[in-house]
């Protein structure tokens, strides 16, 4: 009797991710070393090399792209709402999956782009009910977290995958690239703080907190 060694496929989904041209080249090189018929496709075009891709698209920012190959079958999906990788079973599948996964994993956005922030909002809401005397500051913190959650929702729904077709070393500084979004976040935070402060003032005006004094 002989025990059969079953080959298995591999797959993984990723948090929001930012990929640079260097990473894309590394992924394509890794796939080509271990598979055949490697193709890169966008919403409208199909390419066989990175050179064709960059020659046609230049440095335009991309939000949807797919890398596929055969023998073994590999499919890496960069989409506005998800990033997934699937590697079919084969002699080199495990190593191939591990090598590509290492590239994708290091380009994931931080853990702060996860949905667990909603738990913080719910906990803050419960805390405001349990400690009404601290409701104002707690609500302010809750509003800040809520604004961040809106930003996370936007990233998750529209920019889970961001593909920069330029080298990371050639990219503009973070503030210069994101000043519009940062400005909107700052304005939103200020508005949220003012609304929260106004709500607390209005509550005290119409429903003042009763003061209890001890008799001497």
Q: Which two tokens stand for residue 162?
A: 């961001």
Tokens of 130: 């349990």
Candidate CATH numbers 1.20.120, 3.40.50, 3.30.1340, 3.10.50; the one for domain 10-106:
3.30.1340
- pLDDT beyond 50 at 76: yes
Q: What is the pLDDT of residues 142-169, one digit of tens each?
A: 777 778 888 888 999 999 999 999 988 8
How high is the pLDDT of residue 41? Answer: 96
Instruction: Say which residues have a Cβ less than 8 Å from residue 84's Cβ, sequence separation at least 6.
Output: 11, 12, 13, 14, 75, 76, 77
> Average pLDDT in the 30-37 region?
92
CB burial of 45-76 (b: ≥16 within 10 Å; e: otherwise) equals eebeebeebbeebeeeebbebbbbbeebbbeb
Q: Give the mean pLDDT of 98-102.
A: 97
Query: Which DSSP string corresponds to 120-134?
Result: HHHHHHHHHHH-GGG
pLDDT at 174 (0 to 100): 58
Average pLDDT over residues 19-42: 95
Helices (H), the chain: 21-34, 50-57, 93-106, 117-130, 135-158, 174-206
Instruction: Tell whether the model's pLDDT for residue 24 goes beyond 80.
Output: yes
Please name the residue that has the structure tokens 């508005």: 191
Structure tokens at 196: 């929260």
């Amino acid at each position: 009797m002989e025990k059969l060694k079953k080959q298995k496929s591999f797959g993984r989904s990723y948090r929001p991710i930012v990929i640079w041209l260097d990473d894309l080249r590394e992924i394509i090189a890794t796939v080509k070393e271990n598979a055949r018929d490697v193709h890169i496709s966008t919403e409208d075009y199909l390419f066989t090399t990175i050179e064709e891709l960059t020659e046609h698209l230049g440095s335009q920012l991309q939000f949807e792209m797919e890398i596929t190959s055969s023998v073994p079958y590999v499919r890496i999906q960069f989409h506005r709402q998800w990033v997934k990788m699937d590697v079919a079973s084969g002699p080199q599948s495990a190593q191939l999956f591990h090598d590509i996964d290492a590239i994708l994993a290091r380009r994931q956005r931080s853990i702060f782009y996860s949905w667990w922030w909603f738990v913080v909002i719910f906990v803050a809401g419960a805390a405001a009910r349990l400690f009404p005397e601290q409701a104002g500051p707690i609500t302010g913190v809750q509003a800040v977290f809520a604004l961040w959650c809106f930003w996370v929702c936007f990233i998750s729904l529209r920019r889970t995958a961001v593909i920069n077709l330029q080298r990371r070393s050639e990219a503009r500084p973070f503030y210069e690239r994101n000043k519009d979004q940062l400005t909107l976040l700052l304005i939103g935070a200020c508005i949220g703080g003012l609304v929260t402060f106004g709500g607390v003032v209005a509550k005290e005006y119409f429903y003042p907190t009763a003061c209890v004094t001890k008799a001497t």
